[in-house]
Amino acid sequence: MSLPFYYFSYLNCLLVKGHRYTITIFLTIKVFLLKHSVKTNLKQSFKHSLKLGNRLQKIEKMVATQRYGHIWDCCCDHGLLGCALLNRQASNIVSDIHFVDIVPELMAELEIKLQRFYSSSSNEVIIKNWKTHCLDVAKLPLDQYDGKHLVIIAGVGGDLMIKFIEAINKQHHNLAIDFLLCPVHHQFSLRSKLIELDFSLKDEVLVEENQRFYEVLLVSSSSAAEGKGNNKISPVGNKIWQSDSIKVSLSQAEIVDKYLNKTLNHYQRMQKGLQQSNKQDNQQTKTNNANVDVQHIIDAYRAVTLASLVS
């Protein structure tokens, strides 16, 4: 029998027996318990809603391998990732979590939730170590905060990520910034831009969630030449094709093989469409289409070897 139910039953018994002098006290207790029960249920509901899928779980684990003064959860939507990072804060590993999105309605709703569930937290670290920002990701005020920065961008395409990264890198070229990126598409273009910017690779993994595949890249704005070991970024990925780095529902070898075939099929269909368009259009259109030829991308993915998966 739960504690609230016990008190409610006891109060009813007292009322029946005519113990009127206790009514006021127990009514106060009853109101308190009702409020406590509602608050507990809300917190449990909020905690349950923070359950992360494979993609966000992997991102959270990759964050845990590094130490940062400030973590910027960009395009944060409902703030699931940032809240998960807040919940795992420890006294000896403390990061300020910044929730960033350009949609005012989303940020206003998130601010209310954060105030409700973290302003009265027993952990003072959590209370003071978060902040919301309603602004364009390209305009992050990194120079206003001391410490090492991690910028997390997920849930958008690689083309938009390129714009964000170029703007941030240009504005804060004097800072060594880590980026944790999970594009929904245009992975090859994103990787090519990171190579062009001379970024270095810290880690990369391939994640499967709901029959979709996601590349997750942890990179640094520091040049690969400044680091140690093989930390150059590959236009098609390197470590993501190694089976021991993938822990998802399907077997590791199946995940890698399926993703490679899906990617190749995508670019082969694109190339076929361009070739058919070239046959039908005039010479000027042919010249324009030559600029978006994807044969070099097909060749790059065909060169990927999965020999290490065979045992």
Q: What is the residue extent of each domain of the chain?
A: 3-49, 54-247, 253-309
pLDDT for residue 223? 80
pLDDT for residue 4? 52
Query: In the structure, what pLDDT confidence band is assigned to residue 273 with cuts at 50, 70 and 90?
Result: confident
Tens of pLDDT along 207-217?
Answer: 999 989 999 99
Q: What are phi and psi of 75, to 5 degrees?
A: 50, 45
Query: How far apart are alpha carbons 165 and 190 in whole angstroms?
Result: 10
- CATH superfamily of this structure's domain 54-247: Vaccinia Virus protein VP39 (3.40.50.150)
Query: Which has the closest alpha carbon to 23: 32, 13, 33?
Result: 13
The three-class DSSP label of residue 206 is strand
pTM value is 0.78
pLDDT, averaged across the chain? 80
**Cβ-contact 76, 100 below 8 angstroms:** yes
Task: Say yes or no to pLDDT of 87 above 90.
Answer: no
Least confident piece of the model among 90-94, 101-105, 188-192, 241-245 = 90-94
